[in-house]
Structure 1
């Protein structure tokens, strides 16, 4: 009976953690959606499709999903130079937007979970603050 109670409490704790994390991610994505509309939509467009040969797509982006640290760094500090996204080469400059670490985390959570992207783990403020130039 004691082992049942322990297993039951562990199960309930896991469910609570999962539901709470899901809520935090959704709240972050909601804030990130507003940041995206203010800072990113001009170049990467409304559905994250980007502009051919100029601004890389964020939708279904292999670069975004496979280069988490570099993607966060690009949003936080800007990005310059060549990159390959979904098999196509881009070589442009993204100026730093002046976002706070929480805003970077929020917009990253939004783009990593939109338009066919599925982020494995929520981007946190602590993770963003640990990214250095």
Structure 2
């Protein structure tokens, strides 16, 4: 009597598990592709100031590697790539006061470069989607 509902529940839970696993694998694959594209953009736009491994130039350009400032506010990072940044910022306890220009990049390019930066050199960030860039750009 109770066997059929248990079987149905088991099938439902198993299907849910497979869907969840598949979604996570797809998301992981999407992140890897985004990071691959982002690495190329990083080499073109960011390397000069933030260096090959995101270590920056002490006292002049802040690090992106293991950077508390970068990781604590994704929206701020998006805005700074679009609009640039100037004035004091404290990164890993060190104050920097320089100018970063804004960049003329598409929403996808910004998402890709941020996915690369926020998931390299000890950083572990959530995936940045193009829609997030679009929202910040239109504020």
String of CA shifts for 1:73-121, please: whole Å, max 9, x gaps: 11122111110000000011101121111100000000000000001x2
* Unmatched tracts of structure 2, length 5 or more: 1-6
TM-score, scaled relative to structure 1: 0.97
Query: Which residue number corresponds to residue 94 of structure 1?
Result: 100
- Is 1:129 matched with 2:134? yes
Could you tell me which of 53, 56, 59 is aligned with 1:53? 59
3-state SS of 2:136 partner: coil
- Is 1:36 matched with 2:52? no
* Number of aligned residue pairs: 132
CA RMSD of aligned residues (A): 0.9
- Is 1:105 matched with 2:111? yes
Runs of 4+ in 1 over 6 A off after TM superposition: none
Shift of 1:53: 1.1
CA distance in structure 1 between the aligned counterparts of 2:120 and 2:81, rounded to whole angstroms: 16
TM-score, scaled relative to structure 2: 0.92
Shift of 1:38: 0.5
3-state SS of 1:109 partner: helix
**Which 10-residue stretch deviates more, 69-78 or 101-110?**
69-78
Contact 1:76/1:101, CA 8 A, preserved across alignment: no
Contact 1:48/1:57, CA 8 A, preserved across alignment: yes
3-state SS of 1:56 partner: coil
CA distance in structure 2 between the aligned counterparts of 1:77 and 1:100, rounded to whole angstroms: 13
Name which one, 1 or 2, has greater alpha-carbon Rg: 2
